[in-house]
Homo-oligomer: A and B are copies of this chain.
Amino acid sequence: MLKNTKQRCAIMQVLKQSGDPVSAEDIFAALKDEYPNLALSTIYRNLERFAADGLVKRDVWRDGIVRYSLAQEHHGHYLICTGCSAKIKIEDCPLTGIEQGLAHDTGYEIEGHTLTIYGKCPKCLRRGKTQNQ
């Protein structure tokens, strides 16, 4: 099971083409020209299934919106500007290694983690902190 449908392929395409995590709405927007009657619910359902199957990684951003990215390319985390939302990918994950110790100490089987760092980028620093979130 997990049939090969046009919609499913298209969603995967978007995930592959965009290096960064994308929301359901992002995908919807990206595909609405080519698939005018693709339903948002289809996107949600597929993303959830992909995530359950371990194909994609599901993350909740600070803004409360869920973003998905291909499991393989995920890792690196992000440094996100709280002023302008500029993102920098952090290639080098500081947690590799730590998780093993943690598993040993707690008896948990570690499945993954969420790490995002927030700050102000140089441009926003210069402008002072006029804006909030």
Contact = CB atoms under 8 A, between A and B. Distances in A.
B119 A116 contact: no
Contact of A111 (B82, B102, B115, B122): B82
A132 B88 CA distance: 32
A98 B95 CA distance: 11
Nearest to A95: B94
A35 interface: no
Contacts of A82: 111
B117 A99 contact: yes
Contacts of A121: 106-108
A107 B86 CA distance: 13
A59 to B, nearest CB: 8
8 contacts: A64-B66, A79-B110, A88-B108, A94-B94, A109-B120, A113-B116, A114-B116, A115-B115
Given A60-B62, A108-B81, A115 B113 contact: yes
Contacts of A98: 94
Contacts of A61: 60
A38 interface: no
A113 B102 contact: no
B117 A113 contact: yes
